Amino acid sequence: SQQGEEDPQALSIQEGENATMNCSYKTSINNLQWYRQNSGRGLVHLILIRSNEREKHSGRLRVTLDTSKKSSSLLITASRAADTASYFCAPYSGGYQKVTFGTGTKLQVIP
């Protein structure tokens, strides 16, 4: 199975600032996804980046992938209070491999 580990575990920033969180994984991947989870709510898919991609943008989100370092980062620019949530990465190795989640990064954006 493949497990993602997010870092830092918690992050507190002021509204308008940028937030960066990182994900590390152990074995080679087919793709990696980032999800957001608001407290007590379900997972919301944010972005998928494939192993042959290095960077991907979606609105205020920028995801990078460094397969040589087995790491990915999620950057949220101009953060808003509504971005307060936990963020999880899901690295996927392909071939029906199981995905094991880390504890996520808990982001708090202070208005």
Which residues sit opposite 96 in a β-bridge? none
**CB 62: neighbour CB atoms within 10 A?**
17
Residue 44 touches another protein, criterion: CB under 8 A: yes
Binding mask 23-42 for another protein (x = CB under 8 A): -------xx-x-x----xxx
Tell the smallest beta-carbon distance from residue 16 to another protein (Å). Answer: 28
- Which among 59, 45, 57 has a CA at the least distance from the CA of 92? 45
Binding mask 82-111 for another protein (x = CB under 8 A): ------x-x-x-xxx-xxxxxxx-------
Q: Looking at beta carbons only, is 18 or 103 nearer to another protein?
A: 103
Residue 52 touches another protein, criterion: CB under 8 A: no
Rounded Cα distance, 59 and 51, in Å: 21
Which residues sit opposite 55 in a β-bridge? 64
Tell the smallest beta-carbon distance from residue 22 to another protein (Å). Answer: 16
Contact between 19 and 83 under an 8 Å Cβ cutoff? The reply is yes
Rounded Cα distance, 6 and 93, in Å: 17
Site residues, another protein (CB under 8 A): 1, 30-31, 33, 35, 40-45, 48, 88, 90, 92, 94-96, 98-104
